[in-house]
Amino acid sequence: MLARPPSHSPALGPGCAGPPLAEASSVSIQYPAQPTAQVPTCGAASFLVDHNAVNAPGRDPSQHTQMPYVTGSSVLALTFKDGVMLASDTLGSYGSTKRYKSFERIRKVNDRTVLGASGELSDFQYIMNLLDELTTDDFCEDDGGMLSPREIWSYLCRVLYNRRNKQDPLWNSLVIGGIEHGKPFLGTVGMIGTHYTDDHIATGFGNMLARPLFREKHSPDMSEADAEALIHEALKVCYYRDKQSINKFQLAKITEAGVSVSEPFALPTRWDYKHFENPSANAVGTW
């Protein structure tokens, strides 16, 4: 039996599957690519993909993703006295269509780290597969060790920057939160590898709608209840103003006690505000 191809190729860099060396290995020569059976999950009949036909002369060359298709909007995160809190809605938008309304964009990585993502949801699933490989390696070592939030953040910086350099970026903005040495850690990585850490972070429209609230009301020593109230307020503002959002959210908390991710919930909203009655009244040039 052949080993599963790794997603961390020394030749191609982190986040890229391939051989351990740039040259063809003895395994790839001895076992060339063969047509493989593909079994659709919908129950349809299986079919074969002939790699030689795919790469035949005269065919269009393989192309990378030019734009995201199914996307998620803002992820909000902030630190508080005892840990870190992340929140997002559960919407996956197909263009402007609210297509998938129960997609969890906040995932637990290990007992100290949570990852949230905006952008292309299939790329987010790919990133989670990479992290699952690393988490499985930690489990197989059986020495009690696990990757820290900062290590995961640094690794994802390299993955996204490496894919950007190959002109095949992962179309995501990631938020990594966790506890390291008893202190909260919060960092973000963009699709081209830009990264930083802060006491509060927002992606997507939340960067313009929620962070002004965070700058005004957040403090690193605030209580968990105050942090949750602030993040609920920011979620409502994003829901009011971002058409690619729905009133169905998840909230993750990371403390020394561990990681908890809530079930989806809705927030109370009001639509009788005076400015909502005629939103174009103060906007010159609108209908």
Verify whether residue 65 is a known catalytic residue.
yes
Catalytic residue (choose from 36, 65, 97, 136): 65
Q: How many C-beta atoms lie closer than 10 Å to residue 24's C-beta? A: 10
Strand blocks (E) in 69-182: 70-72, 75-80, 83-89, 92-94, 97-100, 106-110, 113-120, 172-180
Neighbouring-strand partners of residue 14? 8
**Secondary structure of residue 69 in the 3-state scheme:** coil
User: Are 168 and 102 spatial neighbours (Cβ–Cβ below 8 Å)?
Assistant: no
CA distance 47 to 45: 7
**Secondary structure of residue 273 in the 3-state scheme:** coil
Pairing of strands 83-89, 75-80: antiparallel
**In terms of residues, how long is the chain?**
287
- What is the crossing angle of helices 149-165 and 121-141, to 10°? 130
Single-letter code of the amino acid located at 32: P
Of 188, 73, 175, nearest to 120 (Cα)? 73
CA distance 211 to 221: 18
CA distance 105 to 51: 33
**Secondary structure of residue 129 in the 3-state scheme:** helix
CA distance 171 to 130: 15
Which residues, at least 6 apart from 202, have a Cβ–Cβ distance to it below 8 Å? 74, 75, 76, 77, 209, 210, 211, 214, 234
Positions marked catalytic: 65
